[in-house]
Amino acid sequence: MTAIAPLREPDDLFDPRHYEAGAGRAARSLPRWCYTSRAFLEREIDAIFLRHWLFVGREDEVAKPGDYRVCDTSSGPVVMLRGRDEQLRVFGNTCRHRGSALLHGAGNCRAIVCPYHRWTYALDGSLAAAPHMDGVEGFEPADHALIPVRHEIWDGFVFVSFAAGGPDLATHLGGYPAKFASHRLAEMVTVGRDSYEVGCNWKLLLENALEDYHTAAVHGTSIGTQQAYPEEVAGACEILYVPGARAVGVLPKEETAFPHIPGLSEEAAERSYFTLVYPNTQFCFTQDCAWWLTVLPTGPDTCRLDLGYCFPRETVARPDFEANAAKYFARWRLVAEEDLGIVEIQQRGLASVVRRDGPLSWKEGTVASFDRWILDKVLQG
């Protein structure tokens, strides 16, 4: 038997020749180092996460003046904050004194008091008090307001961007919002969130979200085999739909508990959508609810998966909401745990130094699109 030589991360990691498909070759998975290399991840942070719109949370999660929610990004925490003037603002969650994180989790406050030396900021971000700074040469409170982070909102979904310029959110999303207009997402209420630390590269969870090929093996006893079809929409997104008038927010053995969203388009009434908004959030829309999965890289082979769940306002007001919503939460957690279980196993395999890239099935066209999008950005530097 011929021994297979170890395949190490090359020194010239971003030479496009490492990623070229050979003539007549079908799409292949990315080389293993894309899932294991710190240098590759650092380039992804620079070329992708610092340059594109990132989904951080829902506007309705900070509905009242003083409401705040801290949202982690791959470049540190930001805080969404509702001012006394009802304006939603987003700031870096970092004190202008010596940089402490200011807020934690979610809640309501009258002012933001730094836990370290008690610098205090008003809800509009201005510095209102800074003990023992009087007489410090050149110190002007007006120069030390919280640092705003660029944000834009699509139908209640808040996105931030750390890019100095670049396209607005509407340009990033392209035709995507129009596709889901009849789901009335702006009127939905966020009713829960979950978070998992996962032992895999961030891309594995999103690739997994973009194919139905694994569903028979991984979800055979829960949601079962799924048939998903890709749909082309202009914008930084991928869309797959599963045909059927039955909402997929509950397990097949459960009765669908809630009525359809009123006014769903004819097409939307017959489909559940599993979509990706680049770079890192899967949004799922079915006939009676919506949910999301955001993946944050935390290291080359670790990430965090954040899930959030939304229902129409009138559904949340129903007397049977809590009892029936439990079925949806159970389905979302079970399926997420099945997926993160398999991608952790995949990551262990990718650690093998003899691993070569492998051919993709015709059922993995969207995985190939995702990989190409990532590679394009990374190789442009």
**For binding to ligand FES (CB under 6 A), which residues are involved?**
95, 97-100, 114, 116-119
* Closer Cβ to ligand FES, 118 or 333, answer by number: 118
* Closer Cβ to ligand FES, 112 or 289, answer by number: 112
* Closer Cβ to ligand FES, 116 or 139, answer by number: 116
Say which residues have a Cβ less than 8 Å from residue 172's Cβ, sequence separation at least 6: 52, 53, 159, 235, 236, 278
CB of 124 to ligand FES, least distance (A): 18
Q: What angle do CA 219, 307, 68 make, to 5 degrees?
A: 170
CB of 117 to ligand FES, least distance (A): 3
Q: What does 76-96 look like in DSSP terms, one character per residue? A: EEEEEEE-TTS-EEEEES--T
* Closer Cβ to ligand FES, 1 or 142, answer by number: 142
CB of 77 to ligand FES, least distance (A): 14
Q: Which does 339 bind (CB under 5 to 8 A by kind): ligand FES, Fe ion, none?
A: Fe ion
Query: Residue with structure tokens 């990551």?
Result: 347
Q: Is 207 in the site for Fe ion (CB under 5 A)?
A: no
Q: Which amino acid is at 156?
A: G
- By CB under 5 A, the residues from 322 to 341 that bind Fe ion are 339
- Burial of 275-294, coded b for 16+ CB within 10 Å and e otherwise, reads bbbbbbbbbbbbbbbbbbbb
Residue length of the chain? 381
Q: Which does 95 bind (CB under 5 to 8 A by kind): ligand FES, Fe ion, none?
A: ligand FES
Q: Which does 114 bind (CB under 5 to 8 A by kind): Fe ion, ligand FES, none?
A: ligand FES
Q: Which does 62 bind (CB under 5 to 8 A by kind): Fe ion, ligand FES, none?
A: none
Q: Where are the beta strands (DSSP E) in 106-178?
A: 106-108, 112-113, 120-121, 127-129, 150-154, 157-161
* Closer Cβ to ligand FES, 127 or 173, answer by number: 127
* Closer Cβ to ligand FES, 48 or 127, answer by number: 127
CB of 368 to Fe ion, least distance (A): 18
Strand partners, 161: 150
* Closer Cβ to Fe ion, 61 or 306, answer by number: 306
* Closer Cβ to Fe ion, 59 or 339, answer by number: 339
Q: Which does 98 bind (CB under 5 to 8 A by kind): ligand FES, Fe ion, none?
A: ligand FES
Tell me the two tokens of residue 262: 């009123």
Q: Which does 368 bind (CB under 5 to 8 A by kind): ligand FES, Fe ion, none?
A: none
Tell me the two tokens of residue 116: 């370290």
Tell me the two tokens of residue 80: 């969404």
CB of 116 to ligand FES, least distance (A): 4
Nearest to 176 by CA among 276, 287, 60, 59: 276
Count of positions on this chain that bind Fe ion (CB under 5 A): 1
Q: Where are the beta strands (DSSP E) in 112-236?
A: 112-113, 120-121, 127-129, 150-154, 157-161, 188-198, 229-231
Q: Which does 116 bind (CB under 5 to 8 A by kind): Fe ion, ligand FES, none?
A: ligand FES
Q: C-alpha distances in angstroms, 314 versus 7, 50, 288, 321?
A: 56, 38, 11, 10
Q: Is 211 in the site for Fe ion (CB under 5 A)?
A: no
CB of 126 to ligand FES, least distance (A): 15
Q: Which does 139 bind (CB under 5 to 8 A by kind): Fe ion, ligand FES, none?
A: none
Query: Residue with structure tokens 């100095």?
Result: 164
Q: Which amino acid is at 207?
A: E
Binding positions for Fe ion, rule: CB under 5 A: 339
